[in-house]
Amino acid sequence: MPTRSYIIYDADQPQAVSDLTHFDQRSTGQTLAGGDDWSIDFRKLRGGTSEGVEVVDLCSGPLTVSVLPTRGMGLWRGSIQDEWIGWDSPVWRPVHPQFVNLAARNGLGWLDGFNELLCRCGLSFNGPPGIDEGAKSPIESQLTLHGLIANKPAHSLEVTIDDAGEGRVAVTGVIDEATVFGPQLRLTSTVSVIPGRQEIEIEDTIENLAGSEAELELLYHINVGRPFLGAGSRLCAPVGEIAPRDGRAAEGIDEWDTYLGPTTGYSEQAYFMDLRNNPDRETSVLLANAAGDRGFRVRWSAATLPCFTVWKCTQDEADGYVTGLEPGTNYPNFKSFERDQGRVRRLSPGGGSYTTSISIGICTTTAAVDAERAAIAAIAGDKSPVIHTVPTHPYSPV
Amino acid sequence: MPTRSYIIYDADQPQAVSDLTHFDQRSTGQTLAGGDDWSIDFRKLRGGTSEGVEVVDLCSGPLTVSVLPTRGMGLWRGSIQDEWIGWDSPVWRPVHPQFVNLAARNGLGWLDGFNELLCRCGLSFNGPPGIDEGAKSPIESQLTLHGLIANKPAHSLEVTIDDAGEGRVAVTGVIDEATVFGPQLRLTSTVSVIPGRQEIEIEDTIENLAGSEAELELLYHINVGRPFLGAGSRLCAPVGEIAPRDGRAAEGIDEWDTYLGPTTGYSEQAYFMDLRNNPDRETSVLLANAAGDRGFRVRWSAATLPCFTVWKCTQDEADGYVTGLEPGTNYPNFKSFERDQGRVRRLSPGGGSYTTSISIGICTTTAAVDAERAAIAAIAGDKSPVIHTVPTHPYSPV
Amino acid sequence: MPTRSYIIYDADQPQAVSDLTHFDQRSTGQTLAGGDDWSIDFRKLRGGTSEGVEVVDLCSGPLTVSVLPTRGMGLWRGSIQDEWIGWDSPVWRPVHPQFVNLAARNGLGWLDGFNELLCRCGLSFNGPPGIDEGAKSPIESQLTLHGLIANKPAHSLEVTIDDAGEGRVAVTGVIDEATVFGPQLRLTSTVSVIPGRQEIEIEDTIENLAGSEAELELLYHINVGRPFLGAGSRLCAPVGEIAPRDGRAAEGIDEWDTYLGPTTGYSEQAYFMDLRNNPDRETSVLLANAAGDRGFRVRWSAATLPCFTVWKCTQDEADGYVTGLEPGTNYPNFKSFERDQGRVRRLSPGGGSYTTSISIGICTTTAAVDAERAAIAAIAGDKSPVIHTVPTHPYSPV
C-alpha cells in the first residue's frame, strides 16, 4: 500500500479533515517493513495552563515522542522502555500560548512555558530581550527572549505513513510567524520515526513569504536531564574551536565536557563551539551517562546549523537539572551582535527558504554508546581543538 | 410571519440559546419578499491562531459577508459571484484575540491580527501608540495602535430575520470595552443584508455605562484590494477639503485619487478629508477599477462620522496590496492631538450614546458604477475642493 | 457512607476523571446530617470574555457560592434567599485570563478582570505595579498590580463530600505560579460549605516547590456591595491600631468605620489595621447595614494573616459601589516597602508551606448581626484602639 496521509486539521481546508485520531496498523491498514508496533495518537490536554494544548504521540515501537503542535511543533518529551527522555522543568506541563506573555518579566516571559525536550528559538530572532537598534522598524525591534515561534500554534497538521524502506510515520505541522509591515516566515516541520528504531528525525523548512528580504535566526534548544545527565556525564563533540560565553562560563572551561550532579546555588554556564563535520556536512554530539550505558545523540546538518551552544544548568533537581545541546544558525547572543558577525541569515523575497535537519538517537546499551562515540571521533579527526579560556570575539561580544 | 430572532449565545441568559446554527427559508419558515436565497450560518474556525474564532456568514443571495463576533464584530471578507471582497493580508486568517498582544511590537501588536475588510479602531482611542498625557489616569494613558475593540469578543450574539419590506437578515453582537476605574463603553453592532441586494449595512451604537463622562474615538478601517483596487483604479469622493497626513503623503497629493499597481518599496500614504454631504447628512465614496465595471461604494452618516481618511498602501501583493477607506469620528492622529482639535467625542454618564451607520455597496456592472459616480457628483456639487499640498493644521500636527 | 471524592479534572491524571458534573444527595448517594439540600455543579461559561471560564456552584441549602477555578479559585459571587452576595463591578462577567494582559494599562491590567466577591492578590507579590529593585533577578522584578494568581487556572479540581459531623461539601483546586529561574509556588485551595449553614470556608496552603527560599505576599481582596453596604453601613472590627494609607484616607479617619451611599466623584480611601485576636489567634470583622439586619462577617487566622486593610470605594453604583475587607500577610503597599518592614513571608526550599483559613458568614437577621457584634466586642476587649490620624510608619511609607 502506498504512502497515506491524513489531515488532522487545516485552517485552509476544513472540509478535508480525517476522522481518525488514532493511527496504527489496524486503523490505517498500513503494514510497514520496520514493524507493526508503531502508532500515532492525537489528543488534547485538559486543565490549568495546559487546557487545549494539542499533543501528537509518535511511537516507533521502542520509542515514543510527544509533539506539541500548539507550541510551535516543539517536542514535549519522549519515553523509551520505562525511562523518560526530557527533563523536569519547574513548569510542569505544556503551557498554552494564551498563558504566556512573552513581554512580561522584563521580556523573559518565554520562561513561563519552557519545559520541552526540544523547542525552537526564532524565527525572526532569538537570544536575550532588548531593543534591536538595527531592526527595520519599531514593528521588529522589541525583542523578547528566544522569539515567537515556540508559542505559535500550527494551522495545519497532517499525519503521514510512508511505506518506503522500513517505513516511516510522521507528523507535519505548518506555522506562520507573520504580521503586517513585518516578517512573514512560514515553518513547515516534519517530525518522524522509523518503526523499530530509537530515533527521532526533525526536518524543518522556513520560507520567506514577504515581498522583501527577511532575517532568520533559528536555534534548537534541546534539553536533556536524567538518565542521560548525571554526575560524571560527559559530552562528546567534534570540537574545532570552543569559547566560554562569559566570565561565569570561563570558570569552568577546563571541565566544559563533564557534568556535575545537582548542585545547590549552581549558576548556568554556556559554551559556544565550532564543530567539525563530515563530508556530507553533518555533525554529531553525544551526551553519555557516567556508566556509559545511556546516550543521547544529536546529529544535524552543519551546513545550515553551523553554530553549536552547550548550556550547562546542573542546578537543584527542583529548579530544573538540565543541559541544553543547541545547534543553531547563530549563537544565542543579542540579535544585533549576531547580525554584525554575519550570523543572521537572510532569505530572499517571495519564497526564499532554509532547510534544517536534526536526528535525535537514544542509546540504551554500552555498545550503542561506544558506536556513537566512535562516529564522533571519526568526525573530529586528529587535529586538536582550539580552546579559548576567556570569552572571545566573534563568539561573544568582548 | 413577523420578525423572528434567535439567540446564538448570550452570556447573561445562557438558557435562552437557540439550537439552530444554520438559518434559511427552510429552517426558519420565514419567507422574505426580496427572495429566498438568503441564509445565515454560524461556525467556528479550527487551527492555528484561528482556533475558536466565530464566524457568521450572512448571505443575501448574490452577496455573502463573514462577520467575526470574536474580533469586535469586524467583517472578515465577502464574496460576490466568484470574486472576493477584501484584501490579501500577510496575516492570512482571522486571529483569535488570545494570540494578539496589543502592547507588543512597541505598541503595534494590533498588526498581528489585521486582515479584515472592515475593522473598528476604538472605542476609547485609536491612532498610533504612545502615552496620552491628557488621560484621566494611568489606567487610560497607555495607548496601543488603534485601540481595543477589534480584539474584544461579543458576549451576546443574535440573529434576526425581519420580513418588513423586502426583508432583512441581520446579526447583532454586543461587546463591552470596560474596566474598573476606567472606561465602560458598550458597542451594539448590527450587520445586515437585504435579500437579493449587493449591499452590507452596519449600524452601531456605543453607550457610556459609567458614572462619569467618557471619551470616544471610532474609526472604520475599511480595507479593499482586488478586483476593486488595481493599477488605474480611481477614488471618487465629494471632497470639500483635503490634506496630506505627512511629507510622504504630500509627495503624492496630485494623484491622491488614483492608484498604482503593486509597487515594490512603496511606502504608505494617507490623506485626511472633509467631505461634502447631502441634506440627510449622508456622504459616499466609490473605489472603481480602471475598466469602470467594478465598484466598491461606502456610504455613511457624516453627522456622526465627519472625518474621512484614505490610506493608500499599494505595496507588493505579498505584503498586502490594499487601500483603506476610513470614515471616523476623528482622524487617526495621536489621541491627545485629536482631543486638542475637539475631535474626541464625549458621551454623557449613565447611558450617553452615539450611533453610526455605514453601507457598503458592490457594483458589478458599468451602469452601477456610473450611477454611484453620479450620486457622488450630486453631493459634491459645483464648488471646487480645497486641496492642501502640505500637511495642514488642524488635519495634522504641523 | 464515608467521604467521597470526585475528580473533575486533573492535568496529571486525566484517566481518573469522574463523569459527574452535578453532585447532590441523589447523584452521589451521600446523605449528610446537616440536610439534603446541598449540591455542587460544575459548568462552563459561554460568550465574550467569559468564554471557557469554569464555575463550581457550591450550595449549602440556604446559601450558594460560585467558585472560579479558571480565575485562581476566586469566589465570583454568592446568593442567599433572593439576595446577591458580591458587588456590581463595571466588569460584568468573569473574565478568562486570556483576555487579561496584566502588564497593560501601565501595569494595572488586572483591573480588566476584577469583579469577584473574593480574589487573591499574590502569590509572589501584590500591591501596586513597578520595578522591584530588591528582586532576585529581572525575572521577578517587573511587578503588576496585585500579582498573578487571580489570573491563573487550576490544573486539578476535585469535589469532596465529607459526612463527618453535619457534613461538608467542598471543592479543591490546585494552581501553580511557577516559572524557570523564578518562583515556584503552589496554591491548594479548598472552598467548602456545611449543609444548612450560611457560611463559606476557604482553606489555602501555599507551598514553595523550588530549591531555594521563596517570597510570599498574599492578600484576600473580599469585596462587598449591597445589601450589606449602603449609606450608614458600619464596619465592626477589634481594632488595636489603625492608620490611613495616605492623605486622602486621612481626610476620612474619623468616619473610618461608617459608609456613605453612592457618591459621585468619591475617591477611594484605604485604612491599614492591626486587629486584636482571640486565644486561638482568630479575629473577625463585620459589615452590617444601617438597619442592622444584614451582616457580612469575615473571620480568619490572624496568625498567618496579621494585616488587615479596609478599602472604601463608595463611588457611583455604575462604577462599582463596594468596600474591600482584606486580610493579608501584608498591607498592599509596593513590595519593596513591605519587604523592608519584614512583612514579606519567606518559605523554605523544597516544600516550605503556609496555611491560611478564612470563613465568611452571612447574617440575615438582627439577632445574627448582634451575635457577631458581641463576638467581635469580646475579641476587642476594653482597651482603646490607637488611631493614627495621618499616614504612619510602618503602615505606610511616610
A127 at B interface, C-beta within 8 A: no
Mean pLDDT of chain B: 97
> Which residue in B40, B39, B73 sits closest to B155, CA to CA?
B73
**Structure ipTM:** 0.96
- Best mutation target among B111, B116, B144, B266 (most A Cβ atoms within 10 Å) is B111
Q: d(Cα B87, Cα B79) in Å, to the nearest integer?
A: 11
Distance of residue B65 Cα from the nearest chain C Cα, in angstroms: 21
List strands edge to edge, sheet with C184-193. Answer: C4-10, C156-162, C168-178, C184-193, C199-208, C353-363, C295-301, C282-288, C234-236
Averaged pLDDT for residues A141-161: 98
Please classify residue C264 by burial: count the beta carbons closer than 10 Å to its beta carbon, then call 0-12 exposed, 13-18 middle and 19+ buried: exposed
> Which residue in A129, A75, A84, A124 sits closest to A102, CA to CA?
A129
Is the per-residue pLDDT at B121 higher than 90?
Answer: yes
- Best mutation target among A96, A125, A181, A207 (most B Cβ atoms within 10 Å) is A181
Q: d(Cα C335, Cα C129) in Å, to the nearest integer?
A: 9
- Best mutation target among C179, C189, C208 (most A Cβ atoms within 10 Å) is C179
What is the model's pLDDT at position A7? 98
- Radius of gyration, alpha carbons of chain C: 20
Cβ distance of A11 and B45 shorter than 8 Å: yes
Q: d(Cα A155, Cα B48) in Å, to the nearest integer?
A: 4
What is the model's pLDDT at position C2? 79
Q: How far is CA B274 from CA B239, B328, B334, in A?
A: 6, 11, 19
User: Chain A contacts of B93, Cβ < 8 Å?
Assistant: 11-12, 155
Q: d(Cα B56, Cα B69) in Å, to the nearest integer?
A: 8
> Which residue in A85, A154, A174, A35 sits closest to A360, CA to CA?
A85
Cβ distance of A211 and B316 shorter than 8 Å: yes
pLDDT tens for residues B360-385? 999 999 999 999 999 999 999 999 99
What is the identity of the amino acid at A16? A
Averaged pLDDT for residues B250-278: 97
DSSP C287: E
For B5, residues 6+ apart whose C-beta sits below 8 A from its C-beta are B158, B159, B160, B161
Q: pLDDT category, A2, cuts 50, 70, 90?
A: confident
User: Chain B contacts of A157, Cβ < 8 Å?
Assistant: 47
A142 at B interface, C-beta within 8 A: yes
Q: Which residue of C has its CA nearest to A112?
A: C179
Distance of residue A98 Cα from the nearest chain C Cα, in angstroms: 5
Q: d(Cα C298, Cα C238) in Å, to the nearest integer?
A: 12
- Give the number of B-C residue pairs with CB atoms closer than 8 Å: 105
Helix (H) or strand (E) holding C313: strand C307-314
Q: Which residue of A has its CA nearest to C157?
A: A47
B13 at C interface, C-beta within 8 A: no
Nearest by CB to A319, from C52, C152, C210: name it: C210
CA B304 to chain centre: 14
Q: What's the start-to-end Cα distance of chain C, in Å?
A: 59
Please classify residue A384 by burial: count the beta carbons closer than 10 Å to its beta carbon, then call 0-12 exposed, 13-18 middle and 19+ buried: exposed
DSSP C337: H
What is the identity of the amino acid at C287? L
Distance of residue C108 Cα from the nearest chain B Cα, in angstroms: 6
User: Chain C contacts of B138, Cβ < 8 Å?
Assistant: 105-106, 108
SS (H, E, C) chain B: CCCEEEEEEECCCHHHCCCCCEEEHHHHCCCCCCCCCCEEEEEECCCHHHCCCEEEEEECCCEEEEEEHHHCCEEEEEEECCEEECCCCCCCCCCCHHHCCCCHHHHCHHHHHCCCCEEEEECCCCCCCEECCCCCCHHHHEECCCECHHHCCCCEEEEEEECCCCCEEEEEEEEEEECCCCCEEEEEEEEEECCCCCEEEEEEEEEECCCCCEEECCEEEEEECCCCCCCCCEEECCEEEEEECCHHHHCCHHHCCECCCCCCCCCCEEEEEEECCCCCCEEEEEEECCCCCCEEEEEEECCCCCEEEEEEEECCHHHCEEEEEEEECCCCCCHHHHHHCCCCEEECCCCCEEEEEEEEEEECCHHHHHHHHHHHHHHHCCCCCEECCCCCCCCCCC
And the C-alpha cell for A176? 506562520
What is the model's pLDDT at position C1? 65
C325 at A interface, C-beta within 8 A: no
Hunting for cell 479558571 — which residue is that? C70
And the C-alpha cell for C122? 499574590
Chains near C (3 or more Cβ pairs under 8 Å)? A, B
Chains near A (3 or more Cβ pairs under 8 Å)? B, C
B5 at C interface, C-beta within 8 A: no
Distance of residue C147 Cα from the nearest chain A Cα, in angstroms: 12
C150 at A interface, C-beta within 8 A: no
DSSP string, C109-128: GGGGG---SEEEEEES--SS
Contact A281, A303 (CB under 8 A): yes
B263 at A interface, C-beta within 8 A: no
User: Chain C contacts of B102, Cβ < 8 Å?
Assistant: 101, 104
Q: pLDDT category, B1, cuts 50, 70, 90?
A: low
A348 at B interface, C-beta within 8 A: no
A99 at C interface, C-beta within 8 A: yes
Cβ distance of A184 and B318 shorter than 8 Å: yes
Nearest by CB to B46, from A11, A102, A144: name it: A11
> Which residue in B388, B387, B372 sits closest to B285, CA to CA?
B372
Q: b or e along A150-176 (b: 16 or more beta carbons within 10 Å of the residue's beta carbon)?
A: bbbbbbbbbbbbbbeeebbbbbbbbbb
Per-residue confidence of chain C (398 residues) as pLDDT tens digits? 679 999 999 999 999 999 999 999 999 999 999 999 999 999 999 999 999 999 999 999 999 999 999 999 999 999 998 899 999 999 999 999 999 999 999 999 999 999 999 999 999 999 999 999 999 999 999 999 999 999 999 999 999 999 999 999 999 999 999 999 999 999 999 999 999 999 999 999 999 999 999 999 999 999 999 999 999 999 999 999 999 999 999 999 999 999 999 999 999 999 999 999 999 999 999 999 999 999 999 999 999 999 999 999 999 999 999 999 999 999 999 999 999 999 999 999 989 999 999 999 999 999 999 999 999 999 999 999 999 999 999 999 98
Averaged pLDDT for residues A263-269: 96
Q: d(Cα A208, Cα A218) in Å, to the nearest integer?
A: 14
A29-33: Cβ within 8 A, 24+ apart: A29/A1, A30/A1, A30/A4, A30/A161, A30/A163, A30/A167, A31/A1, A31/A163, A32/A161, A32/A163, A32/A166, A32/A167, A32/A168, A32/A169, A32/A195, A33/A163, A33/A165, A33/A166, A33/A167, A33/A195
**Cα torsion for A276, A280, A281, A284, to the nearest 10°?**
-60
Chains near B (3 or more Cβ pairs under 8 Å)? A, C
**Cα torsion for A22, A23, A27, A28, to the nearest 10°?**
150
User: Chain B contacts of A21, Cβ < 8 Å?
Assistant: none
Distance of residue B170 Cα from the nearest chain C Cα, in angstroms: 19
Cβ distance of B180 and C317 shorter than 8 Å: no
What is the model's pLDDT at position B82? 87
Cβ distance of C91 and B155 shorter than 8 Å: no
Q: d(Cα B281, Cα B262) in Å, to the nearest integer?
A: 35
Q: d(Cα B56, Cα B40) in Å, to the nearest integer?
A: 7
Q: d(Cα C366, Cα C352) in Å, to the nearest integer?
A: 44
Distance of residue A3 Cα from the nearest chain C Cα, in angstroms: 33
C184 at A interface, C-beta within 8 A: yes
A339 at B interface, C-beta within 8 A: no
Is the per-residue pLDDT at A1 higher than 90?
Answer: no
Nearest by CB to C91, from B97, B180, B349: name it: B180
Backbone region of residue C4 per phi and psi (left: phi > 0; alpha: psi in -120 to 50; beta: other values) = beta
CB atoms < 10 A from the CB of C203, how many? 17
User: Chain C contacts of B207, Cβ < 8 Å?
Assistant: none
pLDDT tens for residues B47-80? 999 999 999 999 999 999 999 999 999 999 999 9
pTM above 0.90, yes or no: yes
Say whether the peptide bond before residue B145 is cis (omega within 30 degrees of 0).
no
For A85, residues 6+ apart whose C-beta sits below 8 A from its C-beta are A63, A65, A77, A78, A79, A117, A224, A228, A296, A362
C92 at A interface, C-beta within 8 A: no
C211 at A interface, C-beta within 8 A: yes
